[in-house]
Each structure stands twice: as C-alpha cells, then as structure tokens.
Chain A
Amino acid sequence: MKAVTAEVAKIDRPAKKKASRFFSTMLQQRYLYLMSIPFVIWVFVFSYLPLWGWTMAFQKFKPAKSFFEQDWVGFDYFKELFHDDTFFQALRNTLAMSVMGLIAGFTIPIILAILLNEVRQQMFKRVVQTISYLPHFVSWVVAAGIISKMLSTDNGVVNEVLVGLHLIHEPIQFMAKGNLFWSIVTASDVWKETGWNTIIYLAAIAGIGPELYEAARVDGASRLQQVWHITLPGIRSTIIILIIISIGHLISIGFEKQFLLGNNLVRDYSQTLDLYALNYGLGMGRYSFGTAINIFNSVVSVILLFTANGIFKKITKESII
C-alpha cells in the first residue's frame, strides 16, 4: 500500500510538470491549433454526429420529440427488416451487382494497363489515356443519359450494331428488361471507370525493374511470356491490396447508378440496399427503419473488410490492416 502511494506521488509530480509543459507548447503552437481545431469540430459535426443518429434504429423515432422523449423499441425494426421480402431482394441485387462489378472492375483495367504498357509510341499512348479518362469525369447523370441513348431501340448504336451483325433480328428494349439490368450497370461502370482505374496499375508496372525484362529477353522469352512471368507478378501486391479494399465496400455500392439507370419496369432488379433505405426511410418518412438498413450495411461492410483482410493475410502475406 505504502509503495503504491509512493509510486503515485512519484508519477504525479512529473505529470504536473508534463501538463504545464503541454500548455506552454500549446501556446507556442497556437497557430497550428487555430488551423486545425475548427476543422476537427467540423469533422465531429458532419462525420461523427450522424453515428449518434444510429440510436434512431432502436426507437420509434419521431422528429418532433427530443432524445429523452422517444419510445425505445429495441430490435423491433431489425426484426421487421429480416421479415421483409423486399429486403432480401435488395440484398440479392446489391451482392449480385457488386460481385459482377468486382470481377469486371478488376480484370478489365488490369488488361488495359498491360496493353497500354506494351505500346511503344509515347504520343499514341498519351492520347489513348486522355480519352480513356474522359468518362470518369462526367457525372452519372450525364453517363446515364448517354447510356440510355446508346441502348435505345430507336437508333441506339448497340442495337444497330447487333442487328447489322445479324446477331439479333429486332432491337432489344434494354432499359425495360429486368434480367439485363445487372449487366447494364456493370458494363456502364466498366465504360466509365476502366481508363481511370488503369492509373494505379500503370504506376505499379512502371516500378518493375527494366533489368528483369532484359534478362527475360536474353533467355528468349516472347512478349506474351514477359507479361505473364514479369508484369503480372510485378503488380500482384497492388492488385491484392486493391481487392481487399473493394471487398470492404462490397455491400455499400450506393445507389447512384441504380437510381439513374433504373425505372419502375426493372425495379425488382435495380433496388439496392441504399436505394431501399432511401425509398422506405426518406420516401415514406420511416426514419427508424431506414436507419436500421444503414446500420446493417455498415456492420456487414466491416465484417467483410476484416474477413477479406484475414483470408488474404493467410494466403498471400499481404494485408492492409
């Protein structure tokens, strides 16, 4: 007992000194504090306060009442959620589109980056790259307008090409077919983001030592063999890190594309979890129910992130956490 008090006293004195030193440094660094504190408060308000809003999912939330007057209902809204068929439909759509997007969104930019890397004329390469970034910079509103024009039955280029090649007899009403909606979203995403996503891979490829290619050439490797044995292994860790990050976002694919490309005819295939939260939560004023969907989303995201990270850590010794 005595020893403990002695120790506390010992710690106490330097602690006081430490505290006063802390405040004198703080005075010295007052400009640094002035330049960061307003933004810390800002981050607190717009990023952390909404987390407090999660309590809504456990209340029968009424906007007019204060926090202490709300009726608490426990997990009722989650129970309701798991008994709602629309929820499972939205979950299915979300997972289908995100998995399709993950597969296409990884393979195609890697292929394009490798192809671009094999182009020797720098001027040509730069022009192609500039063009390929273009769709990334237009909004989804513009993209959705362009895509529905290209897929339309009257004079849409896709139908014209397919008819011209005699692959189909008459134009397909792409935007009205629910079973095509997932593919349309995936293809649109590929069209919009492929060029942009090559940037990171091209940078990774640029980091591979030229002496490796030199050695392969001496050994008589063809260009294709060089791609397979040097370029691809060279960007392996970049690919893995990006995959882990994307798996974390698997369930939170948002709703922008689906909102803009979808319509009432394809609703059963276009409604994602976020759109479901938007329609039920805000559209019908069911804030608590919508928040329960939001929470489900976040929790699953975190679980996915850690699982993906864990699996890849075991298999490949690469991880982000």
Chain B
Amino acid sequence: MAASGTPWSDRIFDIVVYVAILLVTVVTLYPFLNVLAISLNDSTDSVKGGITIYPRQFTLKNYDTIFAFSGLLQGLKISVLRTVIGTVLGLISSSMLAFTLSRVDFQGRKFVSTFLALTMYVSGGLIPFYILIKDLHMMGTFAVYVLPGLVSAFNVFIIRSFIDGIPYALQESAKLDGANDFTIYWRVILPLTKPALATIALFLAVGQWNSWFDTFLYNASKDNLTTLQYELMKVIQSTQTNADNFRGRNMVEVMASISPESVKMAITIIVTVPILVVYPFLQRYFVKGMTLGAVKS
C-alpha cells in the first residue's frame, strides 16, 4: 500500500535530517565568515558591533597594518619553508620505509615493522624529549622543525597498505629488466602511489603549517626562526586576557595598541587561507586514505 506515496513519518524524518544538517553547516561555517567580515571591516567601526557575515565598511587597512611588520613576513617565510621541507622529507622517508616493509622477501621486514609499530604506543613524554633535543644541540635551530617529526608510523602504514594493493608482478618484471630495488621504488612504486602520497602530503603539510608548540618550546627566543602560528598565538594570548606574562616583542605591543580585534582576525585569515585553498582538492584522496588506514589497523 505504501508503494506509491511516502508515509508521513518518513517525510518528517526527512525534514528533521535536513534541518539538523543545515544547523550543523551554519554553526561550522558562521565563525569563519564572521572572522573574515571583521578582518575586512574598518576597525573603529567594528568596535560598534553588529558585523555578521559581510563587512559594513569595507577596507584592506587591517591587512596593510600587519604586513607592515617585518616579523610577520619573516614568520611567513619560516612557515612556508618548514612546510615545504618537512613535507618533502617526510614523504620520502615514509614512502621508502613503506616500500621496504611491503616487500615480503625483505628479511629485516618483521623487525623494522615491529620497531616502528611500537612507537605508536610508547613515548617518553614531554620532558625527556625536551632534554634529548637539548642534548642534540637542536635548540634554536631550523632542524628542530623538520627532523623530530620525520618518520611517523601511522603514515608509513597507510602508504604500505596502498603499495600492498599493487601487483608484485610489476616489480618482478622491472627486476628482469635489470632494475635494482631503489630504481623499482623510484620509477615503479612512487608514480603508482600518487593518491596515497597526496593524502600523506596533505597531513604532513597541515601538521607543519599548524604547529606552534615546537617554536614555543625550542625557538621562542630566536626572532628569525619563529613561525606564523606562533606569532598569531602571541597576539591572541596577549589580547585575550590582557594580564599575562608575555613580555611582548614589538609586534605584539604595537598590535595591542592599535585596534586588536580586527588585526587579530586579519592574521587569523592569513594563517587559515592556505589550508582553505588546498584541502577541498585533496578531499577524495584523504577520505580514501583515512578509511583504508582505519580498516587495516
């Protein structure tokens, strides 16, 4: 009997579904649009309030203000550098390890994979790690951004499960043509693992771009090595409670003296835009990668 019309209960169900999803979308998106609108609005006008998702008095002055500080440009440079170098090195190291672990005939395979898997469960903790970095004389260097996070077991295992899906016959025929294992990795495996590499590249790049804590911990006193996120963190923390122990470097002080709100929002947008541009394009890769990783582990 219900073959033709939809029962009323299902119609209500549909309405509930769409209303709930729209609500989630609004709650997720509104803060970003609000921040964007404030960053593009005249700062003295913003103080009056009432800005929602579009600017009332459009201006780019807030952005001019922040770019006038050399500290920000230097921070941008370091952030870009660590993102590029960290991503490239991270991709090479995890794909190489993944390749060797995917080779069933490799006799070091069992040892290496156990050795690696254990790191997902045990860690020394913050303070022993800090002492290690100190003992290695990596405090106050650029290397501290790239080296400690070079190999992540999780990334290696995601790439490996992808390589496992590539027929081994391909490697064998390359071998018959006289290719050595490194050539096989470089010429056969790498081109075929592009989707997995794209996923991991996104994770690595986002991780590098977003991290601030290593700057805070190891390089806070090195003005020429601080990152964008760290600068943003200082601005936000210094204006948030007004009463905190951040003895501001010139950038923070000056920013607090001009209208902090709009400038804070402008910095937030600058820090967020690169990610906003990249991730939708890589979405289909990382959804697949996430699922694969979850199912296998």
The chain A residues found within 8 Å of chain B, CB to CB, are: 22, 25-26, 29, 31-36, 39-40, 42-54, 56, 63, 112, 115-116, 118-119, 128-135, 137-142, 144-150, 154-155, 157, 175, 191, 194-195, 199-200, 203, 220, 222-224, 238, 256, 260, 263-265, 274, 277-278, 281-282, 287, 290-291, 293-295, 297-298, 302, 305
Which one of B13, B126, B131 has the greatest number of beta carbons of chain A within 10 Å? B126
Closest A residue by C-beta to B156: A39
**A141/B229 contact (C-beta < 8 A), A131-B25, A132-B24 known:** yes
Query: Which of the residues A45, A138, A222 comes within 8 Å of B13, measured between beta carbons?
Result: A222
Query: Which of the residues B131, B233, B283 comes within 8 Å of A53, measured between beta carbons?
Result: B131
Query: What CA separation (Å) do A58 and B294 show in the bound complex?
Result: 38
Residues of B within 8 A of A150 (CB): 31, 34
Residue B192 at the A interface, CB < 8 A? no
**A157/B181 contact (C-beta < 8 A), A26-B107, A29-B107, A50-B125 known:** no
Residues of A within 8 A of B123 (CB): 47, 50-51, 298
Residues of B within 8 A of A137 (CB): 206, 275-276, 279
Q: Which of B59-67, B68-76, B160-168, B238-246 contacts A (4 or more CB under 8 A)?
A: B238-246
Residue B254 at the A interface, CB < 8 A? no
- Whether B127 lies near A277 (C-beta < 8 A) is yes
With both chains docked as a complex, state the minimum distance between the C-beta of B243 and any C-beta of chain A, in angstroms: 7
SS class of chain B's interface: helix, strand, loop or mixed?
helix
Residues of A within 8 A of B178 (CB): none
Query: What CA separation (Å) do A157 and B148 show in the bound complex?
Result: 40
With both chains docked as a complex, state the minimum distance between the C-beta of A66 and any C-beta of chain B, in angstroms: 11
- Whether A281 lies near B126 (C-beta < 8 A) is yes
Query: What CA separation (Å) do A191 and B30 show in the bound complex?
Result: 12
- Whether A32 lies near B181 (C-beta < 8 A) is yes
Closest A residue by C-beta to B30: A157
Query: What CA separation (Å) do A220 and B2 show in the bound complex?
Result: 8
- Whether B24 lies near A112 (C-beta < 8 A) is yes
Residue B170 at the A interface, CB < 8 A? no
Query: Which of the residues A40, A53, A238, A293 comes within 8 Å of B115, measured between beta carbons?
Result: A40
Residue B85 at the A interface, CB < 8 A? no
Which one of A46, A130, A220, A302 has the greatest number of beta carbons of chain B within 10 Å? A46
Which one of A32, A260, A291 has the greatest number of beta carbons of chain B within 10 Å? A32
Residues of A within 8 A of B290 (CB): 199-200, 203
Query: Which of the residues A25, A39, A50 comes within 8 Å of B93, measured between beta carbons?
Result: A39
Query: Which of the residues A50, A155, A175 comes within 8 Å of B129, measured between beta carbons?
Result: A50
Query: Which of the residues B107, B115, B128, B295 comes within 8 Å of A22, measured between beta carbons?
Result: B107
Residues of B within 8 A of A154 (CB): 47, 49
Query: What CA separation (Å) do A195 and B25 show in the bound complex?
Result: 10
Residues of A within 8 A of B169 (CB): none
Residues of B within 8 A of A131 (CB): 25, 28-29
Residues of B within 8 A of A51 (CB): 122-124, 128
With both chains docked as a complex, state the minimum distance between the C-beta of A104 and any C-beta of chain B, in angstroms: 14
Closest B residue by C-beta to A277: B126
With both chains docked as a complex, state the minimum distance between the C-beta of A314 and any C-beta of chain B, in angstroms: 22
Q: Which 5 A-B pairs have the closest CB atoms?
A: A53-B128, A50-B124, A294-B125, A139-B210, A155-B49
- Whether B96 lies near A118 (C-beta < 8 A) is no
Query: What CA separation (Å) do A51 and B131 show in the bound complex?
Result: 11
- Whether B21 lies near A115 (C-beta < 8 A) is yes
Provide 14 A-B residue pairs closer than 8 Å at the C-beta atoms, listed in order of the A residue. A29-B105, A32-B106, A35-B96, A36-B97, A43-B119, A52-B128, A53-B128, A53-B131, A133-B283, A134-B279, A139-B271, A157-B30, A282-B126, A297-B125
Chain B 113-124: CB-based contact to A (< 8 A → 1; otherwise 0): 001100101111
Query: What CA separation (Å) do A291 and B211 show in the bound complex?
Result: 23
Residues of A within 8 A of B97 (CB): 35-36, 39
Closest A residue by C-beta to B95: A35
Residues of B within 8 A of A53 (CB): 124-125, 127-129, 131-132
Residue B99 at the A interface, CB < 8 A? yes
Query: What CA separation (Å) do A131 and B23 show in the bound complex?
Result: 12
- Whether B181 lies near A29 (C-beta < 8 A) is yes
Chain B 188-223: CB-based contact to A (< 8 A → 1; otherwise 0): 000000000000000000100111110001000000
Residues of B within 8 A of A112 (CB): 21, 24
Query: What CA separation (Å) do A302 and B213 show in the bound complex?
Result: 25
Residues of B within 8 A of A29 (CB): 105-108, 181
* Besides the known contacts A39-B93, A51-B124, A146-B32, 5 further A-B residue pairs in the complex with CB atoms under 8 A apart: A29-B108, A138-B210, A154-B49, A200-B291, A277-B126
Query: Which of the residues A134, A155, A200, A293 comes within 8 Å of B32, measured between beta carbons?
Result: A134
Within 8 A of A (CB), among B233-291: 233, 236-237, 240-241, 243-244, 261, 264-265, 268, 271-272, 275-276, 279-280, 283, 287, 290-291
Query: What CA separation (Å) do A148 and B295 show in the bound complex?
Result: 37
With both chains docked as a complex, state the minimum distance between the C-beta of B205 and any C-beta of chain A, in angstroms: 10
Residues of A within 8 A of B50 (CB): 155
With both chains docked as a complex, state the minimum distance between the C-beta of B174 and any C-beta of chain A, in angstroms: 13
Closest A residue by C-beta to B153: A43
Closest B residue by C-beta to A48: B119
With both chains docked as a complex, state the minimum distance between the C-beta of B107 and any C-beta of chain A, in angstroms: 6
Closest B residue by C-beta to A288: B127
Query: Which of the residues B29, B131, B261 comes within 8 Å of A56, measured between beta carbons?
Result: B131
Closest B residue by C-beta to A116: B21
Query: What CA separation (Å) do A112 and B17 show in the bound complex?
Result: 9
Query: What CA separation (Å) do A128 and B22 show in the bound complex?
Result: 8
Residues of B within 8 A of A297 (CB): 125
**A294/B124 contact (C-beta < 8 A), A119-B21, A155-B49 known:** yes
With both chains docked as a complex, state the minimum distance between the C-beta of B44 and any C-beta of chain A, in angstroms: 14
